[in-house]
Amino acid sequence: MPSIFTQIINKEIPCYKIAETDQFIAFLDINPNAKGHTLCVPKQEINKIFDMSEKLYLDLMCFSREVAIALEKTVPCKRVGVSVIGLEVPHVHVHLIPLNDMKQMTFQHKETQSEGELNALAKQIANNLV
Ligand code: 5GP
């Protein structure tokens, strides 16, 4: 069974997309810790980040950096936090979380945003990519 992120990549499930290359995609997390919480995902379905080739790992970090810079331009925050943490989806994903409080890194504090707000936010972040 393909991961939920592979289904997003294959457009079988919708997402609030921010950026896409031939190797990676970035979209808003559906259950965000903070406004702008974004996931950067390799299209190749690999479970654990350190199982990636060195090249793919470094390319994912460069892609995530570009998205984080756009995120910081868009969402007022003290800095963008980065985490590769969870056990929920067995498909590598880098969490980018605009932080104003360390609670936002705990994955317990969640934000509620309407579909319209998420759509508009994804477009704003995408427009700030260089
Ligand atoms: P982890 O595996 O690091 O615990 O977290 C997986 C993340 O993926 C969670 O933050 C969760 O909200 C997010 N997520 C799970 N399913 C979907 C989905 O269908 N769409 C989006 N955009 N995010 C999802």
Q: List, in order of start, the domains of the chain with CATH numbers.
A: 4-124 (3.30.428.10)
d(CA 46, CA 38): 19
Which residue, by CA, sits nearest to atom 17 of ligand 1?
A: 30
- The burial of 51, by beta-carbon neighbours within 10 Å (0-12 exposed, 13-18 middle, 19 or more buried), is given as exposed
Atom from ligand 1 closest to the CA of residue 16: 22
At residue 29, the pLDDT reads 98
Instruction: Give CA separation, 109 vs 33, 36, 83, 126, in Å.
Output: 6, 14, 15, 25
pLDDT in tens, the chain (130 residues): 999 999 999 999 999 999 999 999 999 999 999 999 999 999 999 999 999 999 999 999 999 999 999 999 999 999 999 999 989 999 999 999 999 999 999 999 899 999 999 999 999 999 999 8
* Candidates 37, 93, 95, 109; catalytic one: 93
**Distance from the alpha carbon of residue 23 to the mean position of ligand 1, in angstroms:** 19
Q: How far is the CA of 29 from the centre of ligand 1 (A)?
A: 6
- Name all residues whose Cβ lies below 6 A of ligand 1: 4, 13, 15, 27, 29-31, 39, 85-89
CA distance 67 to 69: 5
- Owner of token pair 């056990």: 87
Catalytic site includes residue 93: yes
pLDDT at residue 109 in the model = 87
Question: What is the CA(55)–ligand 1 centre distance, in A?
Answer: 25
Q: What is the pTM of this model?
A: 0.97
